[in-house]
């Protein structure tokens, strides 16, 4: 992705004779802590467009902002009716699906760029390059990609907001992206693209980490790293609570 | 109030989960069963991943069975030797269950298998309980005394190496309860239940164990087997959510005491009839869930294949 951005910047620079505008970007927070009250979070992406020599553009600029979670290898399964019961039959594996992907733009993405640019910059979930595992034919892969977008779309892990970026006075921009409580932990990247005349003319990237913290982290780490101790702990708590309840409630 | 579950990795409404525990607890106190057969499906309907639901529900069962087991123990209602054989079988069964569980998880059939096993076993248990209870109620209505049940099962009598189980009033091969322990252990692991619903009728009707120690011995084996299963889940699948288990226990233990109090004075046969119907409703609901076309044919699993 970074290489793509760099290439795009290199190509874009000589094309327009003038120097490209610069993007200044910041996030409402640089990390999101998952604590016991965590019920999702709201990420605010904001900043300014700095035009060379302070010259404002003739047309309103367009922007696309992408929040992308850590890449995961996943398996998508499809159910079919077998003897009256719905059973998982076919499966397609995708090697690099982001575990979270939300896109926001000033206008519907195909009103701003053509499909090719949308695919190069992965400006919307349907343009993600998911690297399907071998074996399946193109039609099957397309169907399973749609299945993935539908499934994670309904869980709010994937989404696109065609009017999610506001630009004030052609200079200040902001976008709000909601993270559901089911967000996976890891390092997220936020990609901010300025689009003029159907082309990405400037980009900026920020990162944000989503981590469990405090009690939630302690429990998770113990469960992951010290399984046996965690098991003993869980059994002891269960026995203690059960015994206490019996003693207290018996009068 | 929303609480984030660290292992299930999602946020749940704490009041709803405690309420679930309470309802299941009342049911279990009322009918004298563990209630795991209600708990696991309810958690899955709520959206908890099946692997977390069965593991945490096993932890919950440990807690909710311990005070009952201790009460029976003090009353002398536990056949320790029989209990130990059942636990040994249960642990072997749990190991087999864990192999089965991770195999099914990799090939993506775990949800289906859990549901199918539920449907099959709850149907068998529900129907046999229903016919048995209806027969007893008819006899009571006509005033006929029940026939004595056959004490000896030819297959079990043929097993080698008989041992005396004094409290249980049995002189049988320990292989029989050991095999029963294995069966219940597998089911406990895969279904996230205590297994009393299956264990109690087998002990009474197949082994012919004396009724006064059946429930205590069954509770004894449930505490140890579910504790072993919690350990297995914790080490292997890492799907025990202690926060979820504690929330369920908070509601469950209170509910169980309430249910036990309500049950006093209610006719036991009518209670059994109600339980049989409840078991069949759960089985029917799960079967319906398998046959109705899902909204989304696709599902996504991290890793896999």
The predicted-structure confidence for B127-181, as pLDDT tens digits, reads as follows: 988 998 888 888 888 876 655 555 566 677 777 777 777 777 777 888 888 999 9
pLDDT surpasses 60 at A17 = no
Touching check for A45 and chain B: CB below 8 Å? Answer: no
**pLDDT level of residue B112 (50, 70, 90 thresholds):** confident
Mean pLDDT of chain B: 85
pLDDT surpasses 90 at B280 = yes
What was the pLDDT predicted at A1? 55
What was the pLDDT predicted at B137? 83
Q: CA angle, corner A28, sides to B4 and A201, nearest 5?
A: 125
What was the pLDDT predicted at A43? 94
What was the pLDDT predicted at A20? 83
pLDDT more than 90, % of chain B: 20
pLDDT surpasses 90 at A237 = yes
pLDDT surpasses 90 at B218 = no
Touching check for B264 and chain A: CB below 8 Å? Answer: no
* CATH number corresponding to A2-212: 2.60.40.1930
**Per-position DSSP letters for A145-201, written without gaps between them:** HHHHHHHHHHTTSEEEETT-EEEETTTEEEEEEEE-TTPPPEEEEEEEEEEETTEEE
Residue B47 half-sphere exposure, CB side, CA atoms within 13 Å?
A: 11
Distance CA A195, CA A198 (A): 6
What was the pLDDT predicted at A8? 53
Q: What ranges do the domains of chain A cover?
A: 2-212, 213-251
**pLDDT level of residue A3 (50, 70, 90 thresholds):** low
Angstroms from A37 CA to nearest CA on chain B? 5
**What is the distance, to the nearest Å, from the Cα of residue B13 to the centroid of all Cα atoms in its chain?**
25
What was the pLDDT predicted at A210? 92
Q: Which of B122, B6, B111, B25 is nearest to B68 (CA)?
A: B25
Q: CB–CB of B234 and A223 under 8 A?
A: yes
Distance CA B286, CA B194 (A): 19
What was the pLDDT predicted at B47? 85
What was the pLDDT predicted at A173? 95
Distance CA B112, CA A83 (A): 13
What was the pLDDT predicted at A2? 55
What was the pLDDT predicted at B301? 81
> Residues A109-121: what's their mean pLDDT?
92
Digit-coded pLDDT (tens) for B25-59? 888 888 777 788 888 888 988 888 888 998 999 89
> Residues A169-183: what's their mean pLDDT?
92
Q: CB–CB of B250 and A91 under 8 A?
A: no
This model of the complex carries an ipTM of: 0.85
Residue of chain A whose Cα is closest to the Cα of B8: A182
What was the pLDDT predicted at A16? 45
Touching check for B149 and chain A: CB below 8 Å? Answer: no
- Highest mean pLDDT among A108-117, B22-31, B208-217 belongs to A108-117
Task: Indicate the SS3 state at residue B189.
Answer: helix
pLDDT surpasses 80 at B186 = yes
Residue of chain A whose Cα is closest to the Cα of B251: A245
What was the pLDDT predicted at A5? 56
Q: CA angle, corner B217, sides to B212 and B220, nearest 5?
A: 145
- Highest mean pLDDT among A53-67, A80-94, A192-206, B40-54 belongs to A192-206
Distance CA B169, CA B158 (A): 18
pLDDT surpasses 70 at A15 = no
Helix (H) or strand (E) holding B298: strand B298-302
Q: CB–CB of B6 and A73 under 8 A?
A: no
Distance CA A133, CA A129 (A): 12
Least confident of A152-156, A166-170, B54-58, B102-106: B102-106
Digit-coded pLDDT (tens) for A52-69? 887 788 888 899 999 999
Touching check for A212 and chain B: CB below 8 Å? Answer: yes
Q: CB–CB of B3 and A76 under 8 A?
A: no
What was the pLDDT predicted at B198? 84
Helix (H) or strand (E) holding A32: strand A31-34
Q: Which of A8, A203, A205, A21 is nearest to A116 (CA)?
A: A8
Beta bridge partners of A161: A104
Handedness of CA B115, B120, B123, B124 (dihedral sign): negative
Q: CB–CB of B301 and A227 under 8 A?
A: no
| DSSP-derived secondary structure letter, A71 | E
pLDDT surpasses 60 at B62 = yes
> Residues B287-300: what's their mean pLDDT?
85
What was the pLDDT predicted at A130? 85
């Amino acid at each position: 992705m970074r290489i793509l951005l760099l290439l795009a910047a290199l190509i874009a620079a000589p094309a327009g004779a003038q120097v490209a505008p610069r993007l200044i970007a910041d996030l409402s927070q640089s990390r999101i802590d998952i604590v016991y009250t965590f019920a999702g979070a709201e990420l605010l992406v904001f900043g300014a467009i700095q035009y060379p020599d302070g010259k404002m553009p003739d047309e309103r600029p367009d922007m696309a902002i992408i929040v992308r979670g850590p890449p995961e290898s996943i398996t998508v399964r499809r159910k079919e009716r077998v003897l009256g019961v719905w059973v998982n039959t076919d499966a397609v594996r995708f090697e690099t699906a982001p575990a979270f992907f939300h896109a926001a733009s000033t206008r519907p993405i195909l009103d701003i760029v053509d499909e090719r640019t949308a695919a190069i910059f992965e400006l919307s979930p349907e343009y993600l390059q998911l690297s399907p595992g071998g074996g399946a034919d193109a039609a099957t892969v397309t169907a399973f990609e749609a299945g993935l977008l539908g499934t994670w779309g309904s869980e709010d892990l994937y989404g696109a907001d065609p009017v999610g970026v506001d630009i004030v006075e052609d200079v200040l921009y902001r976008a709000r992206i909601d993270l559901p409580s089911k967000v996976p932990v890891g390092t997220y990247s936020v990609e901010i693209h300025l689009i003029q005349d159907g082309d990405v003319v400037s980009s900026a990237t920020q990162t944000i980490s989503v981590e469990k913290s405090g009690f939630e982290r302690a429990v998770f780490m113990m469960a992951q790293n010290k399984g046996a101790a965690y098991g003993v702990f869980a059994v002891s708590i269960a026995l203690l609570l059960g015994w206490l309840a019996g003693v207290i409630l018996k009068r | 109030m929303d609480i984030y579950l660290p292992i299930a990795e999602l946020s749940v409404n704490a009041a709803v989960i405690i309420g679930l525990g309470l309802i299941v607890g009342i049911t279990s106190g009322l009918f004298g069963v563990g209630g795991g057969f209600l708990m696991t499906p309810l958690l899955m309907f709520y959206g908890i991943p099946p692997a977390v639901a069965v593991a945490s529900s096993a932890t919950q069962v440990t807690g909710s069975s311990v005070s009952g087991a201790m009460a029976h123990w003090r009353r002398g209602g536990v056949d320790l030797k029989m209990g130990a054989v059942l636990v040994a079988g249960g642990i072997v069964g749990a190991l087999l269950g864990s192999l089965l569980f991770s195999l099914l998880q990799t090939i993506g059939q775990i949800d289906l298998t859990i549901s199918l096993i539920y449907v099959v076993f709850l149907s068998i248990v529900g129907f046999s309980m229903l016919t048995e209870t209806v027969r007893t109620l008819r006899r009571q209505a006509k005033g006929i005394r029940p026939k004595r049940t056959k004490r000896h099962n030819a297959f079990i009598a043929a097993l080698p190496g008989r041992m005396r189980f004094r409290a249980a009033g049995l002189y049988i091969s320990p292989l029989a309860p050991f095999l029963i322990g294995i069966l219940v252990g597998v089911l406990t692991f895969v279904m996230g239940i205590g297994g009393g619903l299956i264990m109690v009728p087998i002990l009474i009707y197949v082994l012919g164990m004396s009724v006064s120690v059946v429930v205590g011995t069954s509770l004894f084996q449930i505490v140890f087997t579910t504790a072993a299963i919690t350990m297995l889940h914790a080490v292997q699948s890492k799907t025990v959510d202690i926060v979820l288990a504690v929330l369920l226990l908070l509601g469950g233990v209170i509910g169980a005491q309430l249910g036990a109090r309500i049950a006093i004075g209610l006719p036991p046969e009518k209670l059994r009839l109600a339980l049989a119907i409840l078991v069949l409703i759960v089985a029917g609901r799960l079967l319906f869930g398998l046959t109705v076309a899902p909204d989304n044919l696709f599902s996504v699993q991290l890793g896999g294949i």
